[in-house]
């Protein structure tokens, strides 16, 4: 019994480490401070963003990314008029931004979720139950993030293998070039040796013509 309790404590502690609970906060968007659901994950930002995007794509929604050098909302992803039954029975605009927790913590991310309806932030109009569902939606994204993170690791390893293979091919090509040059060198040496013998014979013949 004690072992079971200890195991449960370890699992719970691990869950807290990799994913804190979602909470309410604010973030600057569309030139004003917006109410948002915020959560931190012990995973790289790219993995977290990919997981959310892929989850939405499975529901049939593609992200529109805010771009532009002068765009203050650059980096936000907008899912327009989306229907997520795990959060609400109504369609809303879901806007997210994922960023590094800090400069030092590149493998930890913070996700901000803004919910909008008719161009207005919907957080103040949502029932506490729906806000709780939105928090749960983010809390239970961990398996999706783990899958996305694994895919990134696989891709990175594939690139590492590919670079190593290219390096090996380059070395093998260099070896072939060196072997070819070495063979040419040996052939040139043989021809030069023969030429030297001929030239020596010519030299001796010329010397033999000297008058004593």
Residue 166 has φ and ψ, to the nearest 5°, of: -65, -40
Tell me the CATH number at 83.
3.30.310.80
| pLDDT value of position 65 | 84
Q: pLDDT tens digits, residue range 86-114?
A: 999 899 999 999 999 888 877 899 999 99
Confidence of residue 20 (pLDDT cuts 50, 70, 90): confident
In a domain, 7, yes or no: no
Rounded CA-CA distance 78/93 in Å is 7
Please give the model's pTM, rounded to 2 decimal places. Answer: 0.74
Residue 206 has φ and ψ, to the nearest 5°, of: -65, -40
| β-pair type (109-117, 23-29) | unpaired
| pLDDT value of position 67 | 67
In a domain, 107, yes or no: yes
Return the half-sphere exposure (C-beta side, CA atoms, 13 A cut-off) of residue 155: 8
In a domain, 127, yes or no: yes
In a domain, 38, yes or no: yes
Q: What is the mean pLDDT of residues 13-26?
A: 69
Q: Is the pLDDT of residue 10 over 60?
A: no
Domain that holds residue 28: 13-156
Our count of domains for the chain comes to 1
In a domain, 170, yes or no: no
For residue 42, the 8-state DSSP code is S
Confidence of residue 212 (pLDDT cuts 50, 70, 90): low
Rounded CA-CA distance 37/26 in Å is 8
Q: pLDDT tens digits, residue range 68-78?
A: 555 678 889 99
In a domain, 197, yes or no: no
């Amino acid at each position: 019994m004690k072992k079971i309790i200890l195991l449960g404590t370890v699992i719970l502690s691990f869950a807290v480490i990799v994913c804190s609970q979602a909470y309410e906060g604010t973030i600057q968007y569309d030139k004003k401070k917006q109410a948002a659901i915020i959560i931190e994950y012990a995973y790289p930002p790219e993995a977290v963003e990919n997981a959310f995007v892929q989850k939405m794509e499975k529901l049939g929604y593609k992200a529109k990314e805010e771009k532009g050098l002068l765009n203050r909302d650059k980096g936000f992803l907008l899912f327009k008029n989306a229907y997520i039954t795990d959060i609400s029975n109504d369609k809303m605009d879901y806007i997210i931004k994922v960023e590094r927790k800090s400069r030092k913590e590149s493998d930890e991310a913070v996700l901000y979720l803004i919910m909008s309806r008719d161009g207005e932030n919907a957080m103040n109009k949502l029932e506490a139950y729906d806000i709780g569902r939105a928090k749960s939606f983010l809390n239970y994204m961990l398996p999706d993030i783990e899958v996305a993170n694994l895919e990134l690791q696989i891709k990175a390893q594939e690139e590492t293998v590919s670079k190593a293979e290219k390096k090996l091919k380059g070395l093998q090509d260099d070896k072939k070039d060196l072997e070819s040059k070495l063979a040419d060198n040996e052939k040139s040496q043989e021809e030069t040796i023969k030429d030297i013998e001929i030239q020596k014979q010519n030299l001796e013949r010329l010397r033999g013509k000297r008058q004593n």
